[in-house]
Amino acid sequence: MPAERQIFFPFLFRMHKALMWAALLLLAGYLLVFLFYAANLIQFPFDYDQGEGFELVDTLLFSQGRWPWQNVEAYPFYSSNYPPLFHLLAVPFAWLFGPSYAYGRLLGTLATLIAAGAIAIAVRRDGGPGLLAPVSGLAFIASNTIYHIGPLNRQHMSMVMFETLALVVLANLGSIRDSRQRRKVFWTGLVLILAAGYTKQLALATALAAMVFLFIQRPLRGLQFAAAIALIGGGIFLMLTFATEGQWWLQTISANVNRYDPQQALGLLQQWFELHGFLVVPALLYLLYELYVDRLSIYSVWLVSALVIGLLSGKWGAGDSYFSTAIAATCILAGVGSSRLLAWLSERRNLRAAPGLLLIPLLYLGYSKSVLHLPTHSPPFDSIAALLEIRPNAPNGFYDSARSRAGDFPPGYADIGHLTSSEDLRAGEELVAIVRAVDGPVLSEDGSFALLAGKDEDTNPTQLLNLANNGLYRGDALLQMLREQAFGLIILRAGFFPGTVLQAIDENYGPDQVISMNGFDYRLYRPRPAQAK
């Protein structure tokens, strides 16, 4: 046994470290891909993901001192279905630079990096020193889901950032003895939870996870947290409801009760597990260990609540982004559990530790292969793609392992992540020029063309559809404008307007041309001649 410890274990541990360094380098490569993608999007002045334009309109309205939650029955038929914080953070940039996607995409990129840093801090603090802390943070960024939504002008990653920061702050609240420091941590965590909730409504599950965890620790503290959240969060909610004459409630709550497709939710759940299973399994095993052997951490409670949110991905308008919070919780739990297992194995220093010491880095190496996504035509990644014989399966020379071998993916998965090209840029410029040349308003499913052409942004089609599906939208004024052909041009991409609006468009407007940009076809319609209607 002594000889075994003196000779074999040091060799075994060196193998472990070598494999961990290999995993770290591979995951760092995904960070480079992420930053390359973010830089590409920040420079692209047009819509990339559906809905980015309406996030920008929200920001511009706030910058003008106006509410984005408006009456959709009156021109310009615009309203938002999201809370305000992400857009308020972007307001100073809007004052300085006007309408641009660049600053919103920059904020999304920074939020993703901060969330990854918080994950690394959590693993280092609760798991111990070593490579698992940076590996866990990089594993978050390497996720296909986090990669493709991180740099968007969307509020989701800002919500995940605030959620992660809040739980990292609250995780060790019970071990703080100084009462003043404990109050400071308590209120910091509470403010971060509120910030997450007023960035996107899905953060409610994280607020509940924090309350449950604090209640388990000390029932009185959990009740105090719940009361503070209710009073402060509820006060802000009531203020917004009264200030907008009820539109805040209608647009952010009532309009979001959408139909649910269990098959979509199950498909996205299966995809989430297939992509992240190398980390999900150890995370769940560590959760069970805490439940039966140790004590539940806030991250275990968080993962359970985050998976409930993931199952809501079956709602119309939802998608794989609903698993983002679960991915953050998984990376922390897998990292902390692996760190503690590594420390336990290192103490024993015998041959029986061999499987565990090698299994930990192999899990992260397996994860690195599972989440493979790579531009295949852009240097320096084209050389890597050629070396690994990776062929694109997505637009603009991009490979995404989330697609099956047939190139398919579950309903709700965001078909993005590819880089924009010079052809996309020229197509966007052509669309803006066409919109600018039109007399009168233009009805467009995407927001950038009208904004960059100096015209009003008319409607938010997905929000109109949300409201119509819940019986909360008539659309008389918009339908009348379509019958009168008041819009000089209509641009459709996915047909997300309510059925009555699409029917009125078909009756009063005829197809003119199709312009492809960013992998999507933009269909342009002009008013029909009177005799052709």
Each residue of 153-165: pLDDT tens digit?
A: 999 999 999 999 9
Looking at residue 10, its pLDDT comes to: 77
Looking at residue 531, its pLDDT comes to: 56
Instruction: Render pLDDT for 257-315 as a digit per residue (tens, 0 to 9).
Output: 888 899 999 999 999 999 999 999 999 999 999 999 988 999 999 999 999 999 999 88
DSSP state string for 505-526:
HHHHEEEEEEEEETTEEEEEEE
Give kind and range of the element (H or E) at residue 159.
helix 156-170
Burial class (CB in 10 A: 0-12, 13-18, 19+), 448: buried
CA dihedral over 202, 207, 208, 209, signed as positive or negative: positive
Looking at residue 258, its pLDDT comes to: 83
Question: Model's pTM, two decimal places?
Answer: 0.94
**Percent of the chain clearing pLDDT 70 (strictly above):** 96
Whether the pLDDT of residue 242 is over 80: the answer is yes
> Contact at 8 Å (CB) between 34 and 436?
no
Instruction: Render pLDDT for 11-66 as a digit per residue (tens, 0 to 9).
Output: 788 898 999 999 999 999 999 999 999 999 999 999 998 889 889 999 999 999 99
Whether the pLDDT of residue 530 is over 80: the answer is no
Of the ranges 47-51, 484-488, 529-533, which one carries the lowest mean pLDDT score?
529-533
**Average per-residue pLDDT in the chain?**
92
> Contact at 8 Å (CB) between 135 and 23?
yes
Question: Which structure tokens are listed for 14?
Answer: 């060196």
Give kind and range of the element (H or E) at residue 180.
helix 179-197
